[in-house]
Amino acid sequence: MVKRLLAGPWEQIKQRFPDRQIYHRTEGQVRYFAITTEMQLSAIGGVCLLAVWLSLTTVGMLLDGRADQRVKQQFAQIEAEYQNEVDEARAAEAAAIAYMESRTDAFDRTAGEFQMRHDTLRRLLDFADDLSVGEERESPSLDEGRILMAASPADPDPRQALLDPVGEEAFDGLAEERVAALLADQEAALAEAENAAERRLENLRAVLRLTGMRVDEAMQEGPLEGEDGGTGGPLISLDQAPLFSDALNLDDPFNARVARIANRIVESEQVENLLNATPLGLPIDGPFRETSRYGARIDPFTRRLAMHAGKDFAAFRNAPIVAPAPGEVVYAGWRAGYGRTVEVDHGYGFRTRYGHLHAIDVRRGDEVELGQRLGGMGSTGRSTGTHLHYEIWFRGEHIDPEDYIRAGRYVH
């Protein structure tokens, strides 16, 4: 059965590789060699085996070469790590030698640094005192050599001194340890001053963010002419401050940090001046109710949709109308549509307008303070009843007073 199955393929193989004879004639004699199909198949098989052997040998040689290369790389890495350790050891040895050589004058350098920092801190606190004049300000102050932080209204317990006067009884141990402790106290005092300046600035910015104010544009406008910037004291630019004279080396990290804190103090002073001039207070002193908001509404006379550029408050006749921020009266009289009207310029691009008044208690050019009476509520001009029409203008454009009144709840 098997022979019958293999007979067909074997016949095909014999047709492809038939028996061959090679004849050879020498000295008249003819000889031949027979090359059978089996011999041809054996030769082809031998060639294939040889080719496979050569391929495997070549692959093995390539793999061995890569293994040798990896071993060489490992040795090179170990050698590099060893060299790095040697270099680090030599560097550590050099640093130790340098430290031992410089240790003899370390105390003098530390004492000089302490004196420099102490003088710089004193100048910073004097600079802060020149800017901050209110008792309720959260700002650094100096009291008989002690670095203190004034308690804020939300913190009824005054903070304790962070830097005590230098004395022999204050510290025990070596002089170097005493100076190191003083330097640490100075760092703590400086950190507290920096945190206080950042907290103050962040609180002011938080209120301004509630209003949606364009702070940069307001800063460009600046305060009213002749004003010193509100209750925060005179505005002192950094280039005019004695703290930033040529005597202070700003390349030193400590001095640079002090300069950064002073810059924060100046920035917070400028932002607070802006905040004090912003109309955040209520324009009415006493009970009231809101009768119309800012924005589009149905006009009470035409019964058509119209823009209402202010906010209406209703109360009793001649209810006190007060200034929501310090400023200067720029208009006091009759204005078409508004009736008896008062306008106040608060600086920084802000103006407020009070319409339909029954009486006016100020004149043009008067300086008014926060909460000062401007007139009494009435129903003059284009009005349906006793109320106040209150507008806030910024750089010639009216804005929604509600945002500023809401922010003012966190200030007034």
Q: What is the pLDDT of residue 131?
A: 58
- Residue 72 CA to residue 85 CA, distance in Å, equals 20
- Residue 34 CA to residue 17 CA, distance in Å, equals 13
Q: What is the pLDDT of residue 80?
A: 86
Tens digits of pLDDT across the chain (412 residues): 566 666 677 777 777 778 777 777 777 787 777 778 788 788 888 889 998 898 888 888 888 878 778 888 888 888 888 888 988 898 888 888 887 777 666 667 766 766 777 777 777 776 666 655 333 444 333 333 333 223 333 333 443 433 444 444 444 456 667 767 777 777 787 788 788 888 888 888 888 888 888 777 788 777 877 554 443 334 444 444 445 544 556 677 777 778 888 888 888 888 888 888 899 999 999 899 999 898 888 877 788 888 888 999 999 999 999 999 999 999 999 998 899 999 999 998 899 999 999 999 999 999 999 999 999 999 998 888 999 999 999 988 999 999 899 888 877 6
- From the list 223, 230, 248, the residue with the least C-alpha distance to 238 is 248
Which residues touch 358 (CB under 8 Å, ≥6 apart)?
317, 318, 340, 375, 376, 377, 378, 379, 380, 386
CATH numbers and ranges of domains, the chain: 105-277 (no CATH), 289-408 (2.70.70.10)
Integer CA distances (angstroms), 184 to 181, 189, 263, in order: 5, 9, 23
- Residue 283 CA to residue 389 CA, distance in Å, equals 10
Cβ contact 365:329 at 8 Å: yes
Full-model pTM = 0.55
As beta bridge partners, residue 341 has 333
DSSP state of 71: H
